[in-house]
Structure 1
Amino acid sequence: MGIIDSQSVKIAHTCAQDVGYDAGKRIKGRKRHIVTDTLGCLLLVLVHGAGVQDRNGIKQVLPLLKYKFLGSIKAIIADNGYSGQPIVDWVKQQFSWNLEIVKRTEQSKFKVLPKRWIVERTLAWIAFSRRNSRDYEKNTDTSQTMIQLAMIRIFINRI
């Protein structure tokens, strides 16, 4: 089972490649799509311009996930940003995976959403690293590598 989420981050003035504007969060920068397992281990990270919506970003992330973890993923849990029947049907048709959209029930009260807190915790761990609090890298591949290194450091400290 995989849990997917995205995070928009601001960029440093040195970044010029793959920059976009996330109108929902009003951030000029990059968007990080991460997929974790149910323990919070990072399975996949993809960084691109922030102008890409979650519904379009999932079409770039899931083929990479299938390539890396052939046969071991059966279901994907996502938030409301990935909602829409065409996306659910596309995931079912292309990968034979169930895409479960976890929605909020009430806007006025805070409630922990099942399994969603795991990926949110992982995003917080990534942002806790100074170099990942903002995107300082010129290349998105380097940014992905820095996120992977931060997760390696976090999980070594957990042992």
Structure 2
Amino acid sequence: MKVVFKAKGQKGFKVLPRMWRIERTISWWMHSRRLVRDYERLPQHSEALINWSAITLMTRRLTRKPARRDRPTTPVITHWDEVAA
């Protein structure tokens, strides 16, 4: 992992380009109930659970069914009078 510093002369907030990837990955892992809290005594056990969570996440993504394009779209209701009619 590499530390990303603020650019020289920068004032105010600017999104750092690399950090969000790490934060997003960790947030995906936190969907695993066991990883939300650090219950494990040994770091090897925590590492194994992180690997398990990553494998589960990738397996779900790889086996996900593609969205159907031939399905009719749901009509948009613009006013409540259309619902009562």
Number of residue pairs aligned between Structure 1 and Structure 2: 60
Q: Secondary structure at the match of 1:134?
A: coil
Q: Which of 37, 42, 46 is the equivalent residue of 1:143?
A: 46
The 4+ residue runs of structure 1 with deviation greater than 3 A are 104-107
Match of 2:35 in 1: 132
Q: Which has the larger radius of gyration?
A: 2
Point out which structure has higher relative CO (alpha carbons under 8 A, 6+ apart): 1
Q: Aligned-pair distance for 1:149?
A: 0.6
Q: Which of 3, 12, 16 is the equivalent residue of 1:113?
A: 16
Q: Aligned-pair distance for 1:128?
A: 1.8
Residue 155 in 1 paired to residue 37 in 2?
no
CA distance in 1: counterparts of 2:32 and 2:26, whole angstroms: 10
Q: Aligned-pair distance for 1:106?
A: 4.8
TM-score, normalised to structure 1, is 0.33
CA distance in 1: counterparts of 2:42 and 2:5, whole angstroms: 32
> In proportion to residue count, which structure has more strand?
1
Q: Which runs of 5+ in 2 are unaligned?
A: 63-85
State the one-letter code of the partner of 1:128. H
CA distance in 2: counterparts of 1:126 and 1:106, whole angstroms: 33
Percent identical pairs in the alignment equals: 35
> In proportion to residue count, which structure has more helix?
2
CA distance in 2: counterparts of 1:103 and 1:134, whole angstroms: 31
